[in-house]
Structure 1
Amino acid sequence: MAENNQISDSQNSNSVSENCGNGGNGARRLKIGLVLFFLSVAVSVAGGWLWYKSKTELVTDDAFISGHVHVVSARVDGHVNAVAIVDNQRVEAGDLLVELDAAPYRAKVHECEAALALARNDVDAERADVAAARAAVGRAQAQARQSEIDLQRAERLFANEVIARERLDQVHTAATVTRQALIQAQQNLQRTLAKLGQLGKSGQTARVAQRAAELESARLHLDYTRIFAPVAGYVTRRSVEVGSNIEAGQALLALVQLNQPWIIANYKESQLTYLDVGQRVEFSVDSYPGRVFSGRVDSIMAGTGAAFSLLPPENATGNYVKVVQRIPVKIVIDPISDPEHVLRVGMSVEPTVYTGRSFSEILSASH
């Protein structure tokens, strides 16, 4: 009897343990199911969010910072006497950069000043010649008028048989000589006026004007021996040194302006469907991780980058492989996002353009 009771007790304990074990496995399976459910929901939400971002945000890593780079060159030949700047120095507009040897150009100015003074003295002498030529014309005109009067009187006297034919011929000859003398005097006056340069309306002689222009040119060349900064910026690519001999047009250095940079982002042609001017842009650079800069789309280039390359591709061949083209997009940077001017020309950036499309627009476009 006692043994039967023990057997029944052991069976009861085994059934209780089995029931507990079954309950524990069910709870574990429930927890795993809940975890899988929430994971699937999270993955679905994340996937939907990423899909939505891909439709409203245009991202590219093919983008770089550009800016105004002013190449400073010499306007005259010369020997470098002084270089007032160093690499990466900030200069203001009007600051002296390079100074050339001004002695040859200063001597040229003195030479032109002397030539102008001589030209003015020559003009004074030629003006006296003009006055004398005018007086000669006046004298010849008076003689010609008198000869005409004498000729008319002689013809009347000859008609009345008062004088002989020989006397009339002598008066005719004298009148002809005076007329030719008048023509010669007038031509001499025109020649002296042309030499003086007073035939024009201004009244200033061409020779004096030429010497004055040469003097002005010499003074300009003298001023060009001092090279100043055209804009405010940072000195880069300095190649000039003291003692160098440079030529006109030779590049000496470059000035980079950092107060108005912009971004050239090369977007794929398939990304331009909803990209438009004025859209908001955010971007980051590798040099400042975690910092976000802002800007806006300024313009879209009127062609692909390959179309304006030095050697554009030739597609009219037998073997053609379609390649997705990229179109440069200019993005201007908000000055308030970079007050310290930390962005440098040539930096790689990753811009994100926010198209502003709504969820309903995306769904309608998908259908």
Structure 2
Amino acid sequence: MGMTQKSDKQAGDARPQASVTRTVPSDGAALARERRRRWPFLLAGGIILAFIISVLVIVFVPAAHVWTNDAYVTAHYSVIAPRVPGQVVSVPVDDNQTVHAGDILVQLDPRDYQTALDQARAVEAHDRALVMDAAASVARQPAIIAEAKARVAQLSAQLLFARQNASRYAHLALNGAGSREEGERTRASLDDLTASLQAAEAQRDAAEAQLRVLEARQDSSRRQVDVDRARVHQAELNLSYTAIRAPFDGMVGERTVQSGNYVPDGAALMVVVPMDQLWIEANYRELALQHMRPGQKAHIHVDAYDIDLDGVVDSVPPASGAAFAPLAPENATGNFTKIVQRLPVKITLVPGQPLARLLRMGFSVETTVDTGLSSVVRAQTRTDRAVTDK
């Protein structure tokens, strides 16, 4: 029995020891669980902190490069249209053909315009003959005036002599020495010479007035010749317009004309695109233009061929596309939703890039502009013109 009590005592002493050994691993597990519970909060806090830092950097730190995929290849192409109506007799070019400046693209029937030119030249020749006739009349008129003046002088002398005779016969008649018949004859001669002198003076005045008329007619004929010359020139131009030529080197596109068509003036026949003058229209958000300047370098990625090209910012437009829309947005009334606008930035290609020949109008591209001012400084060192001016 004593051994039993001793065993119970040992067992009682052993139980507390066992319980102590069990509490030690229990505290370590709790600490581990506590640490595991903290990790999600720490991770979430780190993510939130990184997000806040990123937003602050985006807002307050200007990006050295701005990128957009809203960019396309474009050019100032020319729509080919006739300046005169006519029947198409030939179209020497085909779709997508390369042409050079001055090449004939469409030939209209020139016969009607050649006839009009011949008629205009004939009218001009006729009016030139009228000018020569008027000049001859003007040259002849001074002689006619001189003859009329001589006639007036002659009749004036005869009238003076007749008046003297009439006075003498009147004096003789008062003294009874002259006959009545002779006196009447003298008075009749005086009246006849007076009438003749008046007629001669009228002819002289008419001849002088006729000179002014002839000079005015000559001037009018000369002006008519000038009008005829202008009509001849216009007829020559109309004849030349029957050969529709390429305005510059490029490639034919959108050809809609065929031989035999009758085309009115101004009708679109085809398009010529200057393939050596392509450029990029990159639609950047207005917030990306804060540090963008003409002369900055641009990186161009062409999706169609997966190639990269070099470009330069040529100019920043004065307004967004919505500002030039036929129906401009009206924000003064109704509910307003602010929309970030995009502006089409013009980016030109750096010369001397063989792969640039692969570009076509309408290609989608991605552009990245180096907005660091160091690029502007480097560009300024190569020219005397201010690269920030446009």
- TM-score, normalised relative to structure 2: 0.70
Q: Distance in 1 between matches of 2:159 and 2:283?
A: 99
Equivalent position to 1:216, from 233, 236, 243: 233
1:261-300 matches, within 5 Å, as: 261-289=278-306, 291-300=307-316
Distance change (3 Å), C-alpha of 1:222 and 1:147: same
Distance change (3 Å), C-alpha of 1:131 and 1:77: same
Q: Look up the match of 2:24.
A: none
Q: Distance in 2 between matches of 1:295 and 1:195?
A: 67
Q: Distance in 1 between matches of 2:242 and 2:100?
A: 19
Q: Look up the match of 1:181.
A: 203
Aligned to 1:313, the other structure's residue is in SS state coil
What's the % identity of the aligned pairs? 36
Q: Look up the match of 1:73.
A: 81
Report if aligned partners of 1:269, 1:324 keep a CA contact under 8 Å in 2.
yes
Q: Look up the match of 1:237.
A: 254
Residue by residue, what CA displacement relative to the aligned partner does 1:259-280 show, whole Å, maximum 9, x if unpaired?
Answer: 1211111111111211112111
- Deviates further, 335-344 or 258-267: 335-344
1:197-216 matches, within 5 Å, as: 197=219, 205-216=222-233
Q: Look up the match of 1:342.
A: 358
Aligned CA-pair RMSD = 2.9
Paired residue total: 306
Equivalent position to 1:140, from 126, 135, 148: 148
Aligned to 1:284, the other structure's residue is in SS state strand
Aligned to 1:314, the other structure's residue is in SS state coil
1:42-121 matches, within 5 Å, as: 55-121=63-129
Report if aligned partners of 1:293, 1:338 keep a CA contact under 8 Å in 2.
no
Aligned to 1:251, the other structure's residue is in SS state coil
Distance change (3 Å), C-alpha of 1:277 and 1:349: same
Q: Distance in 1 between matches of 2:292 and 2:226?
A: 61
Q: Distance in 1 between matches of 2:189 and 2:99?
A: 95
Deviation (angstroms), 1:321: 0.8
Q: Look up the match of 2:19.
A: none
The answer on 1:328 being equivalent to 2:336 is no
Q: Distance in 1 between matches of 2:373 and 2:145?
A: 93
- TM-score, normalised relative to structure 1: 0.74
More helix as a share of residues: 2
The one-letter code sitting in structure 1 at the alignment partner of 2:352 is I
Report if aligned partners of 1:281, 1:353 keep a CA contact under 8 Å in 2.
yes
The one-letter code sitting in structure 2 at the alignment partner of 1:75 is R
Distance change (3 Å), C-alpha of 1:280 and 1:156: farther
The answer on 1:351 being equivalent to 2:367 is yes
Report if aligned partners of 1:263, 1:330 keep a CA contact under 8 Å in 2.
yes
Q: Which runs of 5+ in 2 are unaligned?
A: 1-45, 172-182, 375-390
The one-letter code sitting in structure 2 at the alignment partner of 1:93 is A
Deviation (angstroms), 1:236: 0.5
Distance change (3 Å), C-alpha of 1:247 and 1:357: closer
Q: Distance in 1 between matches of 2:95 and 2:277?
A: 21
Q: Distance in 1 between matches of 2:373 and 2:269?
A: 50
Query: Which protein has the larger Cα radius of gyration, Structure 1 or Structure 2?
Result: 2
Distance change (3 Å), C-alpha of 1:340 and 1:266: closer
1:143-158 matches, within 5 Å, as: 143-151=151-159
Deviation (angstroms), 1:151: 4.9
Q: Distance in 1 between matches of 2:267 and 2:119?
A: 27
Residue by residue, what CA displacement relative to the aligned partner does 1:203-237 show, whole Å, maximum 9, x if unpaired?
Answer: x7233333333333222222211111110100011
Deviation (angstroms), 1:281: 0.7
Q: Distance in 2 between matches of 1:145 and 1:79?
A: 71
Distance change (3 Å), C-alpha of 1:285 and 1:54: farther
Report if aligned partners of 2:309, 2:356 keep a CA contact under 8 Å in 1.
no
Q: Distance in 1 between matches of 2:161 and 2:348?
A: 98
Report if aligned partners of 1:81, 1:101 keep a CA contact under 8 Å in 2.
yes
Distance change (3 Å), C-alpha of 1:83 and 1:147: same
Deviation (angstroms), 1:307: 0.8
Report if aligned partners of 1:259, 1:335 keep a CA contact under 8 Å in 2.
no
Deviation (angstroms), 1:133: 3.5
The one-letter code sitting in structure 2 at the alignment partner of 1:350 is E
Aligned to 2:248, the other structure's residue is in SS state coil
Q: Look up the match of 2:335.
A: 319
Deviation (angstroms), 1:153: 5.6
Aligned to 1:205, the other structure's residue is in SS state helix
Residue by residue, what CA displacement relative to the aligned partner does 1:186-210 show, whole Å, maximum 9, x if unpaired?
Answer: 2223333333337xxxxx7233333
Q: Distance in 2 between matches of 1:315 and 1:303?
A: 17
Q: Look up the match of 1:33.
A: none
Q: Look up the match of 1:364.
A: none
Q: Distance in 2 between matches of 1:227 and 1:180?
A: 64
Distance change (3 Å), C-alpha of 1:207 and 1:270: closer
Equivalent position to 1:195, from 203, 212, 217: 217
Residue by residue, what CA displacement relative to the aligned partner does 1:79-128 show, whole Å, maximum 9, x if unpaired?
Answer: 11100011100011111111111122222223233333333344444444
Deviation (angstroms), 1:243: 0.4
